[in-house]
Structure 1
Amino acid sequence: MNNYSKSTRNTVKRSAKRGYYDKETVYQILDAGYICHVGFTIDGQPYVIPQAYGREGDTIYLHGAVGNRMLKQLEKGIPVCVTVTHTDGIVLARSAMHHSFNYRSAVLFGTAHLVPDEQKEHALFVITEQIMPGRWGEVRTPNVQELKATKVLAMEIAEASAKIRTGPPKDDEADHELPIWAGVLPLQITSGEAIPDPDLRSKLPLPNSILQVK
């Protein structure tokens, strides 16, 4: 199935025409990032925690120390909401109330389960490659002690939706005559010059993973 089923949880209600439910759009938004926000509740108290992630198919991988409180709670199978947002521009209108953003966002719903030991290294590979493609093949892979100290969870995406805004401001027709500049200020994330670790034992060339970004 190429689309997520619509439900009361994932149906976009405000500006519904901006909502998307096809997996291709959701995947594109997820694959363009590497930091998500994980929403969950413990004893009636909601929490939203920023977290690195990796996507493989309909699975989102999260990791942390074995004592991580969030992962310990998610492992119990409680409902989870994961969001990813990209801000593409500030929409500057003539009216203060019509200012907005151009953005791409994805909201995911599901439950998480513990990744077994024999699959843990692969899940960490997926997360690492999400952050910096090609980096896994350039570094020392985790040893037994590191794997033992790390917990990895997999969340299967049960429901999801994307919401996207593009284009100019939506001013009232009467405001178009005002002598006020209006338009869009595009935004994008760019990388700076790589800073070598001062503990490098020798001068080494930049690895391909960084050169691909530049």
Structure 2
Amino acid sequence: MTEPKAPSDRSRARRMHEKAAYDRATIDAILEAMPVAHVGYVKDGAPIVIPTLQWRIGDHIYWHGSSASRTQRTAKDAQVCVTVTLTDAMVLARSGLEHSVNFRSVMVFGEARAVTNSAEKAEALRGMMEQMFPGRWDQLRPMTTQELKATAILSLPLSEASAKIGTGMPTDPPEDMNTPVWAGLLPIDFSMGTPIPDPNLSPDLALPAHAANYRFGKVSPR
């Protein structure tokens, strides 16, 4: 089988390359299934990794924070690595070192760009809301100029991205197959609880469909 080609040397999977995928369909599906991301960069010679929410618009991913944030200021125009991971199952094997996890992950490398144009910022924020809660943006109070000014948005192209996917049962060696130890998968399912309304809501306000139907982690990797 021909090994898929990575877009760059640093995005190429070094180990277990059979789990790697570089096509946009796989990468986009994982990004859209899990909004939580971790952004890594170096400041003053030391690594920093922060959790945030990411969303994709076209060929870029975006994340936002306060304009006063040290993280947003430092990551701007810097080399960053953004990672997104879903855990699908714990894999229990017949020996300790064969235990594993079924997962879907994406790593994106590149130079973060600050979105500074007000119209572009507003459109990026609209894209975030509509991706997560379709139809909600038009129901919200419009943003104020000050709110938009206080929000920093960074963007990263998906030109240097890779996915890695682990699936299947434990890969015990043949000599361990008769060991009397339970082996298999413990599936991990992301489930949503019952929506809890703000006590200050008017009692005649119905739960919108985008809140009642919200799900994440459900997009199939292939």
TM bucket, shorter chain? over 0.9
CA distance in structure 2 between the aligned counterparts of 1:62 and 1:186, rounded to whole angstroms:
29
CA distance in structure 2 between the aligned counterparts of 1:60 and 1:194, rounded to whole angstroms:
28
CA distance in structure 2 between the aligned counterparts of 1:174 and 1:15, rounded to whole angstroms:
22
Superposed CA RMSD:
1.6
- 2:106 matched to 1:106? yes
> What pairs with 1:46-195 in structure 2 (closer than 5 Å)?
46-75=47-76, 77-115=77-115, 116-195=117-196
Q: TM-score, normalised by structure 1?
A: 0.93
Larger mean CA deviation between 197-206 and 10-19 belongs to 197-206
CA distance in structure 1 between the aligned counterparts of 2:111 and 2:134, rounded to whole angstroms:
27
Give the match for residue 210 of structure 1. 211
Q: TM-score, normalised by structure 2?
A: 0.90
String of CA shifts for 1:110-161, please: whole Å, max 9, x gaps. 1122211121111111222333333223322312121121111221223111
Q: Is the 8 A contact 2:60 2:157 kept in 1?
A: yes
Tell me the secondary structure at the aligned position of residue 213 of structure 1. coil
CA distance in structure 1 between the aligned counterparts of 2:69 and 2:62, rounded to whole angstroms:
15
Paired letter, 2:37: C
Paired letter, 1:105: S
Give the match for residue 200 of structure 1. 201
CA distance in structure 2 between the aligned counterparts of 1:165 and 1:51, rounded to whole angstroms:
24
Q: Is the 8 A contact 1:4 1:159 kept in 2?
A: no
Paired letter, 2:87: T
Give the match for residue 40 of structure 1. 41
Larger mean CA deviation between 130-139 and 188-197 belongs to 130-139
**How far 1:5 sits from its partner (Å)?**
4.4
Which consecutive residues of structure 1, in runs of 5 or more, have no partner in the other structure?
Answer: none
CA distance in structure 2 between the aligned counterparts of 1:95 and 1:110, rounded to whole angstroms:
39
CA distance in structure 2 between the aligned counterparts of 1:94 and 1:25, rounded to whole angstroms:
31
CA distance in structure 1 between the aligned counterparts of 2:49 and 2:172, rounded to whole angstroms:
33
CA distance in structure 2 between the aligned counterparts of 1:110 and 1:151, rounded to whole angstroms:
18
CA distance in structure 1 between the aligned counterparts of 2:104 and 2:125, rounded to whole angstroms:
26
Paired letter, 2:65: G
**How far 1:4 sits from its partner (Å)?**
7.5
Which consecutive residues of structure 2, in runs of 5 or more, have no partner in the other structure?
Answer: 216-222
Paired letter, 2:177: H
CA distance in structure 1 between the aligned counterparts of 2:70 and 2:5, rounded to whole angstroms:
30
